[in-house]
Amino acid sequence: MTYRHGASEVFKGLASTLTLVPSTASTIAMTSRVDLLEWLNNLLQINYTKIEQCGTGAAYCQILDSIYGDLPLNKVNWKAQHEYQYIINFKVLQKAFTDKRIDKPIQIERLVKCRMQDNLEFLQWMKRFWDQNYRESEIGGYDAISRRGGAAMTRGGTPSLPSTSSLSSNPSFPKVRGPSSSAGSVTGSERSGRGALSPFSAVSTGTASTRPSSRVSSRASSHLSQASGLEAKKLKARVEELTHSMESLTKERDFYWKKLKEVEDFIGETIESRAGAGVLEGLDALERIREVLYREENAQ
């Protein structure tokens, strides 16, 4: 609307005269995260609660699609749960950056770890890029759900395994309760003489024929065994995830190594053939390229 556009220009004109109110870095960062999540959820019609959930790469792909409207979203895995699947999504984003000549490095190996700081910085950059390039009037609004074929976008991030200390606070792990008053009887005079008794001390002074503490202990052992089994399943799933990720990275490494080997062979053959024919043009450039290929990582 014209009115909104005019108001925007007025605010831009006033920006240079504003006085910033001092604030702590933590307050600014928190406000930034809240604003980013609100913008992201409204734009993509999702329900992310943490910045690190963007580490799947799916949200970044659709942010860019909201600007250009032509990304191959059929290649994006909206339900990605594993790191190797995140990498595939980021490859789609990286190719789009290359095709659109967007000069911004994507640190895929850091973003797929789903750490907050890395994804916060990249999402902040994406928001600035979106502000500069998004034109709602040109595309008639962005239907995020329709563009991804109605697929729900899962939240990223690998959940950390529960520690043994957190098992007692888990709702699925019932707390061990002391026996009820029916387990043993304590007279009023005994209670007043000895003070308040804990449920377990009440058991010890109750009827000798009832020993619910052994049943409680057995029940607790059963719950601990179930919890250990659950943790073992999660560890097994994590091992499988890392195995898949390693296999994917190994294939990628071998692919690029093969390409570099072909480049090396081509350069060597070209240098030999040109030198033998006395054609020296371009040999310096080829030598420089080969020097880069052979250079060690720590070489200056």
CATH of the domain at 73: 1.10.418.10
Place of tokens 């980013």: 36
Which two structure tokens, joined as six digits, stand for 145? 């759900």
Task: Give tens-digit pLDDT for 83-102.
Answer: 999 999 999 999 999 999 99
CA distance 126 to 64: 8
34 part of a folded domain: yes
The pLDDT value recorded for residue 31 is 45
41 part of a folded domain: yes
CA distance 289 to 282: 11
Give the residue numbers spanning the domain of 111: 26-147
295 part of a folded domain: no
129 part of a folded domain: yes
CA distance 32 to 245: 32
Q: Which residues contact 262 (CB under 8 A, 6 or more apart)?
A: none
Task: Give tens-digit pLDDT for 253-276.
Answer: 888 878 888 888 888 788 777 776
The pLDDT value recorded for residue 261 is 83
Task: Give tens-digit pLDDT for 31-41.
Answer: 478 999 999 99
124 part of a folded domain: yes
172 part of a folded domain: no
115 part of a folded domain: yes
Tens-digit pLDDT string for the chain (300 aa) = 433 444 344 334 433 333 333 444 443 444 478 999 999 999 999 999 999 999 999 999 999 999 999 999 999 999 999 999 999 999 999 999 999 999 999 999 999 999 999 999 999 999 999 999 998 756 568 999 999 999 888 766 543 333 333 334 444 434 334 444 444 444 444 444 444 444 444 444 444 444 555 666 677 677 777 878 888 888 888 898 898 888 888 888 888 878 888 888 888 788 777 776 777 777 778 878 877 877 766 655
What's the domain count of the chain? 1
291 part of a folded domain: no
The model carries a pTM of 0.46
